[in-house]
Each structure stands twice: as C-alpha cells, then as structure tokens.
Amino acid sequence: MDETTFAVLMLLVLAWAVTSYRLAKVNITGALVFTVAGYLLGNPTWGALTVDVETSSIHLLAELTLALLLFSDAARVNLSQLRRDIYVPARLLGIGLPLSVILGSLLAAWMFDDFTWALAGFVGATLAPTDAALSAQVINDERIPLRLRRALNVESGLNDGIATPIVVFMLAATASQLGMESHGDSAEARALVELALGVVVGVAVGLGSSVVIAFGSRRRWIIHGGRRLATLAAALASFALAVTLDGNGFIAAFVAGIAFGAGLPADVAEVEDVAELPELVGELLAIGVWFLFGAALVPVALDYLSVTTVVYAALSLTVIRMVPVAISLVGTGLDRWTVLFVGWFGPRGLASVVFALLAIEELHESPVVGPAIAVVALTVLSSVVLHGVSAGPLGGRYISEEAKADPADVPRSRRSGGSHGPEAE
C-alpha cells in the first residue's frame, strides 16, 4: 500500500465516520462500504490505486488487526456476568462451533474434488468463526433480550480464537500434503509447537501486564489514559513476542486477552475502559483489511465463480451454520424463532479474511489455493451483504413474532421500538 492509497483510505474513513450512524439506519455497514470501495478503487484490472496483497506489509497489517481484535474481544468477556448466563454461549462454542467446522469440512471435501482433506478442513475452520461487528445492529438493539444479545456477542468474541489453532494446523497439514514443507520437523509438529508457545507467551504477558497495571494504578503512578496505552502495548507485545519466539501470535493475543481480563482487579478496570484503545485501533485497522478484501480477494472470488462455489457459500451461511446451532440449543428451552434467529446471525467476517490472506502467504505456489480462497471470499462477501441488510428488518420481525407468542413477556421498551445507539453499525 503506497502513500496515495493510504491517503485515499484515510479520507474514506473520515467520510464514513461522520456518516456512519445515518448509514447504519439504512442497514449499510462499514464492512460493506470499504469492501465496495476496495473493489472499485483497488481492483487489479481497472483500479486507480495500487494494492499488492502479497507484500509483507499487507500481511502484517492483517495479522495485527486480528491480533488486536482477538485480545480486545477476549479481554472484554465479563467472567462474573458470564457465569450467571453461560449456558447458551457455552453450547454455541462447545457444540455448535465444532459441528460447524466438521460439517463445513466434510461438505468442502465432497464438493471440491481437488481439495485435500487438510485444505477442506482449512475451509471449514476458516468459515466457522462469526463476526460481531457485522451484526452490531442486532447486538445493540435493546428490543432484543439481553441474554440473547450477550450470547451472540460472547460467541462472536471467542469463536475466532478457538478456531485459530484448527486453521493453523490445517494450513500446516495442507502445506505438508502439497509438498511445501521444509526439511526437518513436519509442518504439523511445528504448528503444534507454535500453538503451545503462543499459549505460554499469552498467559505470561496477559497476567504479567494486568499485575503491573494494577500495581502502578493503585500507587497513582499512571497518568490519565496511561492504562489504555499499557493495555494496547500488552496486546501488541503478546503477538510480537510470540512471533519472535516462533510461536503463534494469534493464540498468544487471544490467551493474553483472557488472562488480562481475568487478572485485572475490578477496582482498576473501573477507573477507565482499558480495552477501549486496543479495540479502536483494531477497528481502524479492520477498515483497512476490508478495503484490501474488496481490492484483492473479491476479484479472486469472481475469477473462480462457479455453481459449486455459489452453492457452498449458500450452504455455509445456512445449513453449515444453522443446523449445528439448532443441535447445540436442544434442551435450552429456546423457541423456534429464537433458534432460527441465532442460527442466521452468524456472519463471517474479519477472521475469515485474515485466515484467507494467511493461506495466500503459506500456499501461494499451489494451483488449488485459488478455489479455496475464492469460496472463502465469496462466503464472506455474501455475508457482508446479506447479514448487513437483514439485521434491522429481521430484528424487528423477531421481536414481532416473540410479542405474538407471549405479549406479556415483552418489556415496554421493546414493544415501543427500543433504541439504536449511535454505536450501532
């Protein structure tokens, strides 16, 4: 990304930021805006801007983005609140997510003859995580029960971190099957070592930084805003240190976020929103990744467009997501409309894009990479459009159906239309 591309992107960010609430009112998300902008301005065929997806700086941008969001999402999980209402998110993560990975992998292996079992597993694992940012309008809609919104938020915040080791292992196994591994230890063995190092680094940095921040805060050593800077530094340090030690930076950032959130005392956390800065920086970088997605990956999806890729993308957003969700929620007492609502609002987003970029970096020499990247990109593109435009209407439809089923159980704020804050995208 050269200076001109960066300047144009920042001007687009400025324009979108000052109109974001108005755009959200008509169900236009930031992801959609910057995907379209990337496709129109950075398209390799006619685009006026230069975007080379294979440069090291592009990959670093994408990796840092995912690392920051993994850390901030994990750090924001309120364990005390979650313990009181863990039943639904635990089932979505513990039953629904593995079933989605398995079902998506099996269908990919069946539908794409050229895919090895590992590459099919990569596609299944890459498209299993969901993205809370793409369903923010639902999560911020106060008409929808808090328990349901919290379950979707927790699921989206944690499932990308849980899916990451599967994606990394499947990428390593694919490289091995395609004959791309270097001499010495097998790619799978190295991937396991990297994951283990990531866990160790994440625990050490996450807990260590929470202890240091608490120590300095209680002694009034920290200036206003210093806790946020320290938290951002901890997030970046967990990723960078793990990579330096040949560990997995994504796992390190995710584990560090969990350890940080669990280790930071409540009285220190209440002083200021310490996770706000990593989250904001991650969101800014995410805009850049969506622009890159439109410029580099959407053209790949269109180049390899076929009946098979279209059918798989449709199945990924419906059957592969909704059937595992329905199975995982059996016995929870949730009604049919609620199960369908949760099943549909599993948008694929940033994590899937970054995993696709990792595959390009690791497997760029193989001819089977194109179709695999294409099916991931097409699924994400479809999700950006369909989940973005359906968030508001389906949220209202869900409330209407629930009110018909049990009007007495719908609070007045929900019956009257609730509220959509300016934060909603």
> Taking the model in full, what pTM does it have?
0.86
Q: Which two tokens stand for residue 43?
A: 């398209």
Nearest to 367 by CA among 167, 177, 120, 178: 178
What pLDDT does residue 145 have? 82
CA-wise closest residue to 72 among 161, 149, 12: 161
DSSP sequence for 196-242:
HHHHHHHHHHHHHHHHHHHHHHHTT-SPTTHHHHHHHHHHHHHHHHH
As a whole number of angstroms, the distance between CA 318 and CA 307 comes to: 17
Q: Residue 420 has what pLDDT?
A: 38
Cα distance between residue 143 and residue 133, in whole Å: 18
User: What residue segments make up the domains of the chain, in order of their start?
Assistant: 3-415
pLDDT of the residue at 148: 83
pLDDT score for 415: 44
Nearest Cα neighbor of 303 from 39, 124, 57, 108 is: 39
Per-residue pLDDT of the chain (425 residues), as tens digits, is 678 888 999 999 999 999 998 988 888 889 999 999 999 998 888 878 877 777 777 888 889 999 998 898 888 876 666 666 688 888 999 999 999 999 999 999 999 998 999 999 999 999 999 987 777 777 777 778 878 888 888 888 888 889 999 998 999 899 888 877 654 456 678 888 889 999 999 999 999 999 999 999 888 888 888 888 999 999 999 999 999 998 999 999 999 999 998 888 877 777 667 778 888 898 899 999 999 999 989 999 999 999 999 999 999 999 999 999 999 999 888 888 889 999 998 888 899 999 999 888 888 767 888 899 999 999 999 999 998 888 778 877 878 777 666 554 444 444 444 433 333 33
Q: Would you state the pLDDT for residue 425?
A: 35
Taking the C-alpha atoms of residue 65 and residue 232, their distance in angstroms, rounded to an integer, is: 12
- CATH for 3-415? 1.20.1530.20
Measured CA to CA, the distance from residue 62 to residue 351 in angstroms comes to 9
Dist. CA 73–CA 155, nearest whole Å: 10
- CA pair distance 350, 357, nearest whole angstrom: 11
* Per-residue pLDDT at 380: 96
Count of alpha carbons within 13 Å of 246, Cβ hemisphere only?
A: 5
pLDDT at 365: 62
Strand, coil or helix: what is 24? helix
